[in-house]
């Protein structure tokens, strides 16, 4: 049996952040939104934007008529890309 030096264990408290996103799709237009909230309920960042028909058309594949799933995913990616990546080392809860 071999022996090694004692292992160091660090106790750090990670703050939890909550990422909430949503999207809407009505006829040919859409909307995206998201908010980043800390564990005390304070808003750290948010965004909201409308998509016109031309922007929504970029997500329609083939003869599909609904793109809500694609827009929900886009809302989450936009929030992560713009501000959520600063919280990668935190405990994070995502909800769309």
Q: Which residue has the higher pLDDT, 96 or 44?
A: 44
pLDDT for residue 62:
81
Q: In degrees rounded to 5, what are phi and psi of residue 66? A: -125, 135
Percent of the chain with pLDDT strictly greater than 70: 81
pLDDT for residue 84:
61
Q: Under a CB-based contact definition with an 8 Å cutoff, are residues 58 and 30 in contact?
A: no
How far is Cα 41 from Cα 89, in angstroms, rounded to an integer?
19
pTM of the shown model? 0.72
Question: Over the chain, what is the mean pLDDT?
Answer: 83
Give the number of other Cβ atoms within 10 Å of residue 51's Cβ: 21
CA dihedral 77, 80, 83, 85 (to 10 degrees): -140
pLDDT for residue 94:
67
């Amino acid at each position: 049996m071999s022996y090694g030096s004692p292992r160091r264990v660090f106790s750090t408290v990670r703050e939890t952040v909550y990422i909430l996103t949503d999207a809407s799709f009505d006829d040919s237009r859409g909307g995206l939104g998201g908010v980043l909230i800390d564990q005390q309920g304070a808003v750290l960042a948010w965004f909201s934007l409308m998509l016109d028909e031309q922007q929504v058309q970029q997500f329609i594949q083939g003869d599909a008529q609904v793109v809500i799933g694609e827009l929900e995913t886009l809302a989450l990616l936009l929030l992560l890309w713009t501000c959520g990546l600063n919280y990668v080392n935190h405990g994070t809860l995502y909800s769309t």
